[in-house]
Amino acid sequence: MGTSDRFDWIEQLVGSGTPIPPDTASSNLIGRIVSAAVSRGANRPALLEAVGTSEAILRNQLSRVSGQVLIRLFSALEHHLSDPAIALRIGKEAKPNCFSDIGFATRLLPTLSAVLAANVRMQMLRQTLYRVDLVEDGPALKLVWDIGSYDAHEMGALVEFSFGTYVRLAREIWGDQLVVESIAFQHAARFDGQHYSDLLGANVAFGGSRNAVTFSAEQANKPSPCANALLLNAATACHSAPVEWLRSGQRHSAFTYFYLWTELNKSPATLDRAARSFGMTERTLRRHLVEEGHPFRALLDDLRKSMCELYRLENKRSLGEVAELLGYGELSAFSRAYRRWFGEPPSRAWSHPS
């Protein structure tokens, strides 16, 4: 499977018959930003009330909200935290941390160029207010932001957040060796210009004709120190079955799978929660899943086993952390499931200390 094919499930999900509306953002993105803000001292209930959303909406990681919620969110954050640079700061911090987070596995791709391309492909799942394009221009590799008819100042904080996420992503790959050749914003500086340079690690220009970040194409196409072909193969293979379900019309099974995948480490994975997130009753979703040959409990158990295998291959986390990421409230419950899946206790196969 070529690099460009690794994340074909994105197009399958986007093109599954439920078009993603323009000017919207995913609950997954909103939730990551809110969590990062709370870690910096923001009051979560007050923040959600200020932007006009709720915990119930954020619980469904695949649901969409108006793009205005995203714009209001950064405005509220600047007010709540008295920090005009908060969008950039959160862009640097609100990173995917586990396989349940959309985009986490892209870090395993063979080059920074491939990592950036995969994340650009995922942008519609995250938001549809602006478009990011990846352009290789001789010795330069550029990310270019198209904000359409939006006013550059109105979109300033959101674009800054996006710049922060891509620069942070590139630094996850190359660390202090990363070469950022230039950064340009369409809008005027919203705070001290030197502060932008300090946060982004490069010279920053303002008031230009487009928003763009320029990397070294030579470095972006070198083998990535974070590449892991074995783990990447395993991670992308996990989505092959639900993609086939989409193709064969088993939509309820596929969407329940993706819902559980993104929700597993965030709240109890129950049939009732899944049904409510899809706007149907528990009984109706149960019936659809059984008719499609994927009863809820079996689907959840298979997904947990698949994700457990990823963390075992990754070999960077304790058993307690993995149990939590798989949605188990107790380590003993995870240990029993592990023994049932693999025929031995996790302590025998897990080399990372618990």
For residue 6, is pLDDT > 80? no
Give which of 215, 200, 197 is closest to 142, Cα–Cα. 215
Q: What's the token pair of residue 32? A: 């990551």
Tokens 């990681």 appear where? Answer: 61
pLDDT category at 8 given cuts 50, 70, 90 is low
The DSSP H or E segment spanning 137 is: strand 131-137
Q: 136: which strand partners?
A: 141
State the pairing for strand pair 211-216/140-146: antiparallel
Rounded CA gap, 158 and 129, in Å? 10
Give which of 180, 263, 257, 250 is closest to 214, Cα–Cα. 180
Q: What's the token pair of residue 189? A: 């500086």
Rounded CA gap, 274 and 80, in Å? 32
Q: What is the pLDDT of residue 219?
A: 97
Domain ranges of the chain: 3-220, 238-349
Options 2.102.10.10, 3.40.50.1860, 3.30.428.10, 1.10.10.60; CATH of 238-349:
1.10.10.60
Q: What is the pLDDT of residue 240?
A: 87
pLDDT in tens, 209-248: 999 999 999 999 999 999 999 999 999 899 889 988 988 9
The DSSP H or E segment spanning 316 is: none
Query: How crowded is the C-beta side of 203, counted as CA atoms within 13 Å?
Result: 3
pLDDT in tens, 62-73: 678 899 999 999
For residue 102, is pLDDT > 80? no
pLDDT category at 133 given cuts 50, 70, 90 is very high
pLDDT in tens, 255-312: 899 889 988 888 788 999 889 888 899 999 999 999 999 999 999 999 999 999 999 9
Give which of 89, 84, 104 is closest to 153, Cα–Cα. 84
Do residues 230 and 253 make contact, with C-beta atoms less than 8 angstroms apart? Answer: no
Percent of the chain clearing pLDDT 90 (strictly above):
71
DSSP, collapsed to helix, strand or coil, labels residue 134 as strand
Q: What is the CATH number of domain 3-220?
A: 3.90.1520.10
pTM of the model: 0.90
Do residues 41 and 81 make contact, with C-beta atoms less than 8 angstroms apart? Answer: yes
Length of the chain: 354
Give which of 41, 102, 29 is closest to 66, Cα–Cα. 29
> To the nearest whole number, what is the mean pLDDT of the chain?
90
Burial of residue 283 (CB within 10 Å: 0-12, 13-18, 19+) is: exposed
Is there a common fold for 3-220 and 238-349? no
Q: Which amino acid, 299?
A: L
For residue 349, is pLDDT > 80? no
Rounded CA gap, 245 and 260, in Å? 15
Q: What's the token pair of residue 311? A: 């963390």
State the pairing for strand pair 204-205/211-216: unpaired
Q: What's the token pair of residue 171? A: 């630094």
Name which residue leads in pLDDT, 164 or 354: 164
**Alpha helices in the chain, H assignment, sequence order:** 8-14, 27-39, 44-51, 55-59, 67-81, 86-93, 112-121, 123-126, 156-174, 193-200, 217-220, 229-237, 240-247, 251-263, 271-277, 282-291, 296-314, 319-325, 331-342, 346-349
DSSP, collapsed to helix, strand or coil, labels residue 155 as coil
Rounded CA gap, 222 and 326, in Å? 34
Do residues 232 and 314 make contact, with C-beta atoms less than 8 angstroms apart? Answer: no
For residue 354, is pLDDT > 50? no
